Amino acid sequence: MASEASELELPLVQDTELTNCMRLRVQSLQQRNEKPQDGEKLLRANEFVYRVDFSRQQGLRFERWNVVLEKPGKVDIIGTSQHWTPDLTNLMRRQLLEPVGVFWKKPDSPEVECNEADALEFGERLVELAKIRKVMYFLLAYADGLEPAHLKCSVVFRV
């Protein structure tokens, strides 16, 4: 008899080293007064790189996003199809996935809101990507006073 389905919760973990490397790329271009490559996505000051390490790759079904914002503000979670390696190829705009998960909290509300259709579609894309990779990278863009310290985020799958 098959056992009852269980949940697997995978946190989005800030990748400080990769964020710093991408910021150095911006700084290097500025210092040399050069332009980015055609189509290159440069990290802005409000964007940070996060990662999810898939401890399991098969048999996942997207269940929900767990997003906790400790204060009002907005965060865009942008998946990337980029498979970063130590040689750190530049991130190109065509490697940014659609749709974007947008989560926000209004000043007078205890609840985190989102566009549920986009969040669901984004989560379902993660299941497909999990089948072919152990790690997935994300760009998180903070707005309206929100910062990395104010966010706890994970993705829950049904196994």
Output the domain CATH number for residue 116.
2.60.120.390
The number of folded domains in the chain is 1
CA–CA dist 43, 92 (Å, integer): 11
- What does the angle CA 12 – CA 14 – CA 17 come to, to the nearest 5 degrees? 145
Residue 1 lies in a domain: no
Q: Are 24 and 43 in contact (CB under 8 A)?
A: no
Q: Give residues with Cβ within 8 angstroms of 156, minimum separation 6.
A: 7, 8, 9, 10, 63, 64, 65, 66
Instruction: Quote the domain boundaries for residue 20.
Output: 7-158
On whether the pTM is more than 0.75, the answer is yes
pLDDT tens-digit series, residues 68-126: 999 999 999 999 987 766 556 788 899 999 999 999 999 999 999 999 999 999 999 99
Confidence of residue 4 (pLDDT cuts 50, 70, 90): low
Residue 2 lies in a domain: no
